[in-house]
Chains A and B, each alone.
Chain A
Amino acid sequence: MAVAELTTERRWRTFADVVAFALGTNVWISIVILPAIYVGALHGGLRIFAAMLPFAVLVLGLVRRSEGILLGLFPAAVLVPVSLEPQLASQHVYGEIRFALVAAGVIAYLFGVSFFTTFHEPPAPRSIRMLSSAQQGPATRWRRRERVYWGLTALSIIFPAALIAWVDYDSAIADFLGKMYPGRVALMTTALTVGAIGLWLGVYHYAFLGVLRPHRTGDRDLVTALTRSRVDAKTGKPRARFYAAVALALAAMLALVLMRHIA
């Protein structure tokens, strides 16, 4: 029994590794290697190192089987060569169809890694006994929560794709950047794209996840934070952040006065 469970576990892990490697390599080639070949940016030690960095991070993530590396560090590493050579993400490299294909590849990678690295086939049960509550199906609140999760999943695809497509393919924005920053359109477009990704991450973290967070129950972090808040409230004194905010305000005022005085 134990050997069978181990074999199933190994098979899932190998499958998850193969999926992550295939999809991650696709992301690396489509975002870094192909555009670099297209714009002729694969020369010089630093640029070649930057181009190989995402692949090295991907392999490291697979070896360590770390979700943090695969879902956080690898996407960040893909942006390193783009930051060195903004032409890699410029409009003439990505046509609309190619953009859609690359976006689909990135979404497939993120979903594939997040799903397959956490999903494991449970071992076969020794015996089965039906509970009366199981016949009623999931509770309404869980069905509602599942709908919210699916909504968040859809928003995670639609919002960043729409923002990036708007920044990169709206002719009004391209014309404006051409007038304001002649000769630096690719750099500014890339900066705006990174800004759009940052804006989406911020909105998602504070507006979307922020709504869900108070509904968590039994969460250790939340319970600890609530306990600390209760203890703080009983003291009736301002917390450290009050003094930090006062010091920050005074420092900023001083800097403003000094700046005016020096100018």
Chain B
Amino acid sequence: MRRYFFEILAVALIGGSLFFFKETLDYLARRDYVAALLVMVIGVAVISVGKEMARLALVQRD
């Protein structure tokens, strides 16, 4: 059960990080570079968290 929970969370986080990268592009288009950088950092951090969840899901599967 925990394995599926971690898998769903990992997919949601990694997929959700795409939203932040899309926002980054929008900020860049508006020439708001500082905001773009901050949102990009959030996106990378969310991907890292998703990656860690995926790792935990793998551990649960073993």
Contacts and interface: CB of A to CB of B under 8 A. Distances in A.
Interface in A231-261: 233-234, 236-239, 241-242, 245-246, 248-249, 252-253, 255-256, 259
Contact of B52 (A234, A241, A252): A241
A246 B48 CA distance: 9
Contact of B45 (A239, A252, A255, A256): A252
Given A233-B58, A252-B45, A253-B42, 4 more contacts: A245-B49, A245-B52, A246-B45, A252-B38
Interface in B10-62: 34-35, 38-39, 41-42, 45-46, 48-49, 52, 55-56, 58-60, 62
Interface of B: 34-35, 38-39, 41-42, 45-46, 48-49, 52, 55-56, 58-60, 62
A212 to B, nearest CB: 22
Interface residues of A, number: 17
Contacts of A237: 56
Interface of A: 233-234, 236-239, 241-242, 245-246, 248-249, 252-253, 255-256, 259
B56 A238 contact: yes
Interface-central residue, B35, B39, B49, B56, by most chain A CB under 10 Å: B49
B56 A249 contact: no
A236 B58 CA distance: 10
Is the contact region of chain B dominated by helix, strand, or loop, or is it mixed? helix
A259 B55 CA distance: 34
A242 B45 contact: no
Contacts of A252: 38-39, 41-42, 45
A249 B52 contact: no
Looking at B45, B55, B60, the one whose CB has the most chain A CB atoms below 10 A away is B45
Contacts of A255: 38
Contact of A249 (B35, B42, B55, B59): B42
B56 A248 contact: no
B49 A246 contact: yes
Contacts of B45: 245-246, 248-249, 252
